[in-house]
Amino acid sequence: MGITRDLSLAKEALDRNAIIAIPTETVYGLAGSAFSEEAIAKIFALKKRPFYNPLIVHIHSADYLTEVASDLPESAIALAHAFWPGPLTLVLKKKASIPDLVTAGKDTVAVRVPDHPLTLDLLKQLDYPLAAPSANPFGSISPTRASHVQGYFGDDLEVILDGGECQRGLESTIIGFENGLPIVYRLGSLSIERIQAEVGPLLSRTLDDTSPAAPGMLSRHYAPATDTLLSDNVEQLLFSHSGKRIGLLLFQKERHGRPVVHQEILSPSGDLEEAAKGLYAAMHRLDELGLDLIIAERFPDWGLGRTINDKLERATKI
């Protein structure tokens, strides 16, 4: 069956607790019924994901939120109204309908409304929400095209819904609430500046390797198979690794003067949204070249540049 746009095939597979791939505006997800422990266990097994790392539950609208979460802070309601559908995940007190397997045994659940017409149509046809981490083996580069998912899982997935290239290209931003105050758990494709414009200053706790409150908090993640380094001084690294087959991941401008196998330029115009959208696809291309080393350039540390740097820092921890 493989790659398709047929929602009836997707629904039939999900209704019998099979796992499928779905498109979102951020990255492709590996989806199963959030109410089914059988389906959730299959997701963890297929991704080889540790059970202490919780999943995100996808719902069709903010109106459905009270079916999966309770005790909603006012700031959570404000953020949902401002950014859903969209690349924002909220971590809230869970209802008993959500299995503990989804939440890594925690009493909170991560929830969002994806902004992709194909997946929203699918969610509206289902009697249950979908749990859906990124559709990649645990720790590897996230997929932004159906072909990336197929390259990872092949025949292990009978349905890969093809929604085209992801429009955001980076995971959702995750906001939780501690003592009633909003806190950033994961930087994503919704900038912190935009969130602060709605709810004011944010606390931040984005690293936890033992008991993460949300996905994306582990120190190593989003990583190519090829050794990768992040630097403020690309030229110096090129000099110190001369003689190796090197690929470059750059923001605006090519580097000249030292031989490299390939250079990926994410945005010649300096547009951070364009760079974010193309980041993972560029990492996939570089990873397929049989290089000795990928050198990534550090981005401006504001707006989505902060998110890109965060992803690259986790990808380059060797």
pLDDT tens string 170-214: 999 999 999 889 999 999 999 999 999 999 999 999 999 999 999
| Cα gap 55→134, rounded to integer Å | 9
Instruction: Please write the tens of the pLDDT for every residue from 130-177.
Output: 999 999 999 999 999 999 999 999 999 999 999 999 999 999 999 999
With residues binned 3-state (H G I as helix, E B as strand, rest as coil), the percentages for the chain, rounded to 5, are 30, 20, 45
Pick from 49, 24, 28: which is nearest to 104 by CA?
Answer: 49
Q: Which domains does the chain possess?
A: 2-204 (3.90.870.10), 228-315 (3.40.50.11030)
pLDDT on residue 1: 67
| Cα gap 74→78, rounded to integer Å | 6
Check: CB of residue 226 under 8 Å from CB of residue 275: no
Q: Percentage of the chain with pLDDT > 90?
A: 94
Check: CB of residue 184 under 8 Å from CB of residue 206: yes
Strands 228-231 and 293-297: parallel
Instruction: Please write the tens of the pLDDT for every residue from 232-264.
Output: 999 999 999 989 999 999 999 999 878 899 999
pLDDT on residue 317: 66
**Lowest mean pLDDT segment, chosen from 123-132, 249-258, 279-288:** 249-258
6, 62, 91, 297 from 97: Cα distances, Å: 29, 17, 16, 44
Strands 130-131 and 56-58: antiparallel
Strands (E), 115-188: 130-131, 159-161, 173-178, 181-186
What is the gyration radius of the CA atoms in the chain, in angstroms? 19
| Cα gap 279→241, rounded to integer Å | 23
